[in-house]
Amino acid sequence: MRILLVEDNRELASWLGKALRQAQYAVDTVHDGEDAEHALQVADYALVILDLSLPKMDGMTVLRRLRKSGNAVPVIILTANASLGGRVAGLDEGADDYLAKPFEIAELEARIRAQLRRGNNRANPEISMGELLFDGRTRQFSLAGSVLSLTPREHAVLEYLMVKAGTTVSKATLSESVFGFNDLADPSAIEIYVHRVRKKLEGSSVKIATLRGLGYLLRHGE
């Protein structure tokens, strides 16, 4: 899942970005409101983490313009302003959650998981298909009861297909969910990762089907 992190404190942004990548998220980081607005116009994100005190354009303005454009991406606000008025204002402008600084990374990750479940209309943190299970709490896949060993990119491919199970996902959409702005990705790279995930699912009833001209579909059975 691809996340946009908007934080002007570069040390905090670097720490958060590293922690979220270790949790198997693809993360784009920007440091001001104008860059945030541009990123949201050119890429699709599963979630946005938004600081309010930003240069060039404050976070509340970014949020207001985002919602006015019709973009319903989940937004978690990070801010040093923990007052009731500040929280109410952010939620009224369309934020989905609010976390005051300082915070524990474990709490932020739990809030991210909750928002991603809501964004995909899921109440249960576990998703299963045949012998394949994804536990949203640990962010681990298991196949027939054994942990499935995946690289970060393989994990991103399988997670996106699992969340969208039953829906055909285009190559472009899948690629955008896996690669961030700073990744140098050949157009055929996504095919390589899909191939590797297929190999790791061999012997199970879970398959990644290629629908020519349409994209990929994760399905159970032949």
Decide if 75 contacts 19 (C-beta within 8 A).
no
- Give the CATH number of the domain where residue 53 resides: 3.40.50.2300
How many Cβ atoms from other residues are within 10 Å of residue 144's Cβ? 12
Q: Check whether residue 134 and residue 186 sit in a common domain.
A: yes
Helices (H) and strands (E) in the chain, counts: 8, 11
Q: Dihedral angle at the C-alpha atoms of 13, 18, 19, 23, nearest 10 degrees?
A: 130
Note the pLDDT of residue 29: 95
Domain boundary among 71, 104, 119: 119
Q: Check whether residue 105 and residue 190 sit in a common domain.
A: no
Q: Which amino acid is at 39?
A: A
Note the pLDDT of residue 207: 92
Q: Check whether residue 38 and residue 87 sit in a common domain.
A: yes
Note the pLDDT of residue 94: 85
Q: Check whether residue 72 and residue 105 sit in a common domain.
A: yes
Dump pLDDT digits (tens) for 45-73.
Answer: 989 999 988 999 999 999 999 999 999 89
CA 221: distance to chain centroid?
28
- Give the CATH number of the domain where residue 191 resides: 1.10.10.10
Domain boundary among 104, 119, 134: 119
CA 139: distance to chain centroid?
12
Tokens of 53: 């005190």
Q: Check whether residue 36 and residue 112 sit in a common domain.
A: yes
Q: Check whether residue 162 and residue 206 sit in a common domain.
A: yes
Domain boundary among 86, 119, 152: 119
Q: Check whether residue 207 and residue 102 sit in a common domain.
A: no
Spell out, as residue ranges, where the chain has pLDDT lower than 50. Answer: none
Note the pLDDT of residue 127: 87
Q: Domain range for residue 86? A: 2-119
Backbone angles phi, psi at 68, to 5 degrees: -65, -30
- The whole-angstrom separation of Cα 96 and Cα 5 is 15
